[in-house]
Structure 1
């Protein structure tokens, strides 16, 4: 949308339209350039447009947001499907080592997350030290309890947990389970529903992202950003 002065203004978020989900459903069935080109206008108006509106409305509160390019990097993958069958928004540009909030929409659900999906190796060491004992460990447990009370349990993220307690800690350590984690994240999933098509959908994003802020802040303080070379998320 343009103003009288010619400046582009993003209209306010009005919900994720049904066409967004229909586009993704079609892409799941026909992940091809032919489908993409035939439905490019739908992508621009009903997928990219609403996502950009959502980001514009949330950035003042949560800082810079970024979305993901639709094309998959298939160079090292057996799956040569050219397009992602989901659309997402994140506050971090790191796939491994990122700390922040995340939104992912597929054809039949919406997922909200916050914390760290996957620690980088240097972060794993600091995380273990922080949860092993002391004030930081007690703060982490308090945050876990508070989030669990809100039906937002903290879990280990996307990387497989260790089968054994790390060698630097006794096997019977009272926090052995958490010491095996390689991430710390809240993931909340919602089946597709009518409320997602309405402006109120942004309220759910805000509610969950704000709820997980204590976890993010704890990770920021006691784990911090990774100093390892980044593996960035796709734009």
Structure 2
């Protein structure tokens, strides 16, 4: 069981905990399991981030509480624990532990229309757009999926026959690999798997940092 020392893996209890939390997302359930969550989820995630900091920069762990101000869903807790490493808001490398196991990704989440406008301008430009198209194809070939909000129709200002219309429909771009809960999740090998995936994502993340992201 990990503490603030070296990363030893994510105990499988964490996956089971989030599966149960999806069914009983209450303050009572959370409070009863919080000490074990700190030991088997939060502390290993902190240790993982510490191990990867020299190569990828410091990571921010997201709070377990959901923001309920503008949500019809009043469930108080997120059903996963995530961390984001990177210098710019919303951009960088991502790791998540939840009921479906380990998810690793990279790219950016849009926080404003201006973010999306910069992204689409870079997709539209031949040099940066063709590079992104190639990077996306390579990641898809190695098991990553593209996720993020997108339009069902073409965005205003772009031709219907644009060669990169599918990318232009996107408001943001994240490439994710879903590992599930293999046996190695509870061992130090999980660090190697996250590091290797983040290295594969480095070209995409660097593309985002060059063409889209704005420093806080």
Fold in common (TM above 0.5): yes
Task: Name the count of aligned residue pairs.
Answer: 214
Indicate if the aligned counterparts of 1:68 and 1:89 stay in contact, CA closer than 8 A. Answer: yes
| Residue matched to 1:5 | none
Matched, 1:215 2:204: yes
Residue of structure 1 aligned with 2:121, choices 125, 129, 149: 129
- Which of the two has higher C-alpha Rg? 1
Indicate if the aligned counterparts of 2:56 and 2:86 stay in contact, CA closer than 8 A. Answer: no
Distance 2:75 2:106 in 1: 28
TM-score for both structures, normalised by structure 2: 0.88
CA RMSD of aligned residues (A): 2.3
Matched, 1:142 2:131: no
TM-score for both structures, normalised by structure 1: 0.82
Q: Any gaps of 5 or more consecutive residues in structure 2?
A: none
| Residue matched to 1:178 | 167
- Equivalent runs, 1:1-235 vs 2, <5 Å: 10-91=4-85, 98-118=90-110, 120-153=112-145, 155=146, 157-164=147-154, 166-225=155-214
Q: Find the residue that maps to 2:177 and give its secondary structure.
A: strand
Cα 1:145–1:84 shift into 2, 3 Å: closer
Distance 2:110 2:69 in 1: 22
For residue 13 of structure 1, report the CA deviation from its aligned partner. 0.5
Q: Any gaps of 5 or more consecutive residues in structure 1?
A: 1-8, 228-235
Indicate if the aligned counterparts of 1:15 and 1:196 stay in contact, CA closer than 8 A. Answer: yes
Cα 1:54–1:83 shift into 2, 3 Å: same
Q: Find the residue that maps to 1:212 and give its secondary structure.
A: helix
Distance 1:25 1:224 in 2: 34
The structure carrying a bigger helix percent of its residues is 2
